[in-house]
């Protein structure tokens, strides 16, 4: 088995081996993966953190040894947090701007090692804030299918990112996240950090958001925003109508 690690700020993960294929997710700096297949200029991978499959450009594939990969699985890398952090690449004196939620692999003090590359981290490191503050730091981030950063994020990418920064790994898609946690049987019984799931007319879960308090939810729909939540679903005061039908509520903390 071959392994790799993301040594760029963000790498698009695509459904098919083509630049025209949809972006289904993203790799953030320091996230590792297993290599499943090489095909022309593309590499089929499965991510280590959430077992998500997709294709990345061969030029974005930075190899990682077996021992180093296993070491990361046994001792997860610290996370960057709060603002976009800079990583100074020592070899060529260039700077990589790391999105919130990046993983600082093999960190020693402020020095991070990605394979044979050395980076000096400039900025705040660590988990230092509440779930509510982390979630609200994403407010007004634009919706982006497959996105996982403040510069563009989808609904399940948003919930996954916030929970990751609080030390809990969620799966990637909303329907997968709905299989985790424990059921909460009423909106009135919800608390901060519960996830609410919403389905389409066919009964398939297509949306997820984070409960801030009974009756209030933060979610990525058009942009990350706060709306009202009741037993029917999400009510948008801006649009003066219900936009999502409630399917279930799950608790993880």
Comparing CA positions, the residue from 160, 135, 144, 164 lying closest to residue 221 is: 144
CB 7 within 8 A of CB 114: yes
Residue 150 appears among annotated catalytic residues: no
HSE on the CB side for 27, CA within 13 Å?
29
Query: Which is catalytic among the residues 6, 60, 150, 219?
Result: 219
Query: Which is catalytic among the residues 60, 150, 207, 244?
Result: 207
Q: Hey, CA dihedral for 132, 191, 143, 231, is it positive or negative?
A: negative
Sequential DSSP letters for 29-49: TT-EEEEEEEETTEEEEEETT
Facing residues of 228 across strands? 216, 235
Residue 66 appears among annotated catalytic residues: no
CB 218 within 8 A of CB 224: yes
User: What is the CA angle 33-37-41, rounded to 5?
Assistant: 95
Residue 219 appears among annotated catalytic residues: yes
Query: Which is catalytic among the residues 6, 60, 155, 244?
Result: 155
CB 245 within 8 A of CB 199: yes
Residues recognised as catalytic: 155, 207, 219
């Amino acid at each position: 088995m071959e392994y790799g690690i993301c040594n760029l700020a963000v790498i698009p993960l695509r459904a098919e081996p083509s630049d025209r294929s949809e972006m289904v997710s993203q790799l953030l700096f320091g996230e590792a993966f297993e290599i499943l297949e090489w095909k022309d200029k593309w590499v089929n991978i499965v991510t280590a953190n959430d077992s998500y499959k997709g294709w990345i450009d061969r030029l974005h594939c930075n190899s990682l040894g077996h021992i180093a990969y296993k070491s990361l699985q046994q001792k997860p890398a610290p996370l960057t947090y709060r603002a976009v952090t800079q990583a100074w690449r020592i070899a060529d004196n260039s700077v990589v701007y790391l999105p919130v939620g990046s993983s600082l692999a093999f960190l020693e003090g402020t020095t991070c090692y990605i394979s044979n590359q050395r980076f000096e981290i400039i900025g705040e490191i660590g988990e230092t804030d509440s779930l509510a503050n982390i979630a609200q730091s994403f407010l007004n981030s634009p919706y982006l299918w497959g996105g996982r950063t403040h510069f563009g994020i989808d609904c399940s990418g948003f919930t996954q990112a916030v929970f990751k920064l609080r030390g809990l790994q969620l799966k990637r898609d909303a329907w997968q996240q709905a299989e985790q946690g424990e059921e909460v049987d009423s909106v009135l019984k919800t608390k901060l950090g519960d996830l609410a799931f919403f389905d389409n007319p066919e009964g398939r879960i297509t949306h997820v958001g984070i409960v801030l308090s009974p009756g209030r939810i933060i979610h990525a729909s058009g942009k990350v925003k706060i709306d009202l939540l009741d037993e029917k679903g999400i009510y948008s005061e801006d649009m003066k109508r219900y936009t999502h039908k409630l399917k279930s509520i799950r608790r993880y903390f």
